[in-house]
Amino acid sequence: MARESELRDSYDVVVIGAGPAGSCAAWRAALEGCSVLLLEKDLEIGAPVRCAEGISARAVHAFIGVPPPEMVSAKISRVRFTSPDGATATLMHEIDSYVLDRKAFDKALAARAVSAGAVVLTGSRALSMKQHGCGWEVAVDIDGARHTVHAKGVVGADGIESRVGRWAGLKTHTPLEEMESCYQYRLSGVEVDQHVVEIVFGSGIAPSGYAWIFPKGEDTANVGLGIKRHAAPVQITAKDYLDRWIEERFPGAGSLGEFAGGVPISVTLPLISADGLVLAGDAAHQVNPLSGAGISSGMRGGWLAGGVLAGQVTRCDTSAKALRRYDESWRSLLGRLHENHYRVAQVIFDTTDSQFNSLARELASLPEEKRTLYAAVSRAVRSRPSLLLQLAGYFRNWWSSDSGRGYPESPPQ
């Protein structure tokens, strides 16, 4: 139940969307002393889960410390690549990561924002915005009743379908050629190594994308894939591809849930700020365009957005010019790295099945202790010099793009 009785007429900062990016923005802005309203359109924060739920342990620890056991479905130490013809290569590098329970994790982040002083309302959908003074009037549907709140600054953290940015005149739509159309099942009755994340390539499995298996504890896993429309016959959907592959790979598995979704495989939007407004998370296209991972980059985007916006609210200058600092800070934090990753991702999408097959086979032929990034890279370079130089970066960065930048210095209290 949304508690609209708590609603005031005006806030320093209104955050639209209570995913990881929005909650971190609200949390940071509240810590900086702003009055903050955090709006979530769904009735429950964290649901529905549209995510494979993988994240580096470092990112979780930086924001909330060591997570309670019920928030972690599986602890991941290895990543395994599977080529189109089924050859596998498990890299020896430890990748200290979690598969989260997003329903619990997202609530924990929102709870941090509340502890810092933010007001959170669920079942509350932003309907429109118009400029008012140097801020915004935000119209909100709360449990079916229309309210208007004034904000000195707005954070648009409303996901891939972001309309908040469009209301402020930003071009937020994702070109079709950059949209990875995804489908995922939570499967039970699957035998998977609960410490390994598996990534599967193949034009017949997930054209211009990949399939993933993220363990979720006991005999369950998040099993999904993403495809690019241009690479697949128009009548075959992402769900069709997934159904076909699961029948082959996990016959007899049961579905505990399923969802559709999309991941913008693109660089960050050219402009993620406007007068009195900043965008964060998927709304700003802050997902890592190589791995498709978006939780930790969204959290860092939100944390940065909340900090910059709060600072400008305090200085009574939320002009587009002043908020451009957010664009610049984001670009040096992760935006430029994502531009590099995007270029590598284009190479991956151009890699043929036979190239993936031979690379996986070469890697698998090595003793495990020699199955390093270096080995992957050197073999790749030999077979296709131009490809492999870039693949090197691909393997290195697959999970390790988490350099630790952009996190709080210690978990904020």
Partner 1 sequence: MKCLGERCDRCGVCTAVCPFDAVIVDESGVTFLDDCTQCDLCAQACPTGAIVQDLSGAA
- Applying CB under 8 A, the residues found at the interface with partner 1 are 41, 50, 125, 159-163, 166, 173-176, 179, 181-183, 229, 234-235, 237-240, 258-262, 264
Sorted by sequence, the CB contacts under 8 Å of residue 85 that are 6+ apart come out as 202, 353, 357
CB nearer partner 1, residue 11 or residue 136: 136
Smallest gap from Cβ 262 to partner 1, in A, equals 4
CB 135 within 8 A of CB 318: yes
Pick the closer one to partner 1 by CB: 269 or 391. Answer: 269
Tokens of 53: 């739920």
Comparison of 75 and 147: residue with beta carbon closer to partner 1: 147
- Least distance (Å) between residue 154 CB and partner 1: 17
| CB 51, min distance to partner 1, A | 11
Smallest separation, CB 226 to partner 1 (Å): 9
- The residues that bridge with 188 in the sheet, in sequence order, are 220, 254
> Which residue, 156 or 264, has its beta carbon nearer to partner 1?
264
Query: With contact defined as beta carbons under 8 Å apart, do 17 and 159 qualify?
Result: yes
Contact in structure between 153 and 313 (CB atoms under 8 Å): yes
The answer to whether 408 touches 303, Cβ cutoff 8 Å, is: yes
Distances (CA, A) of 18 to 29, 78, 178, 299: 14, 31, 25, 11
- Given the complex with partner 1, which of 175 and 252 has the nearer CB atom? 175
Distance of CA 100 to the CA centre of its chain: 13
- Least separation in angstroms between residue 1's CB and partner 1 is 16
Q: Which is nearer to partner 1, 83 or 208 (CB)?
A: 208
Whichever of 43 and 66 has its CB closer to partner 1, that residue is: 43
The least distance separating partner 1 from the CB of residue 128, rounded to whole angstroms, comes to: 11
Beta bridge partners of 180: 228, 263
**Smallest separation (angstroms) from partner 1 to the CB of 166:** 5
CB < 8 Å & 24+ apart, contacts of 328-335: 329/304, 330/268, 330/272, 330/284, 330/286, 330/301, 330/304, 331/268, 333/300, 333/304, 333/405, 333/406, 334/268, 334/286, 334/297, 334/300, 334/301, 334/405, 334/406, 335/267, 335/268, 335/286
Nearer to partner 1, 11 or 183 (CB): 183
Cis before 207? omega within 30: no
Q: Which residue has the tokens 């993220």?
A: 214
Q: How far is the CB of 181 from partner 1 (least distance, A)?
A: 4
HSE toward the beta carbon, residue 183, CA cutoff 13 A: 17
Instruction: Report the C-alpha gap between 411 and 413 in whole angstroms.
Output: 6
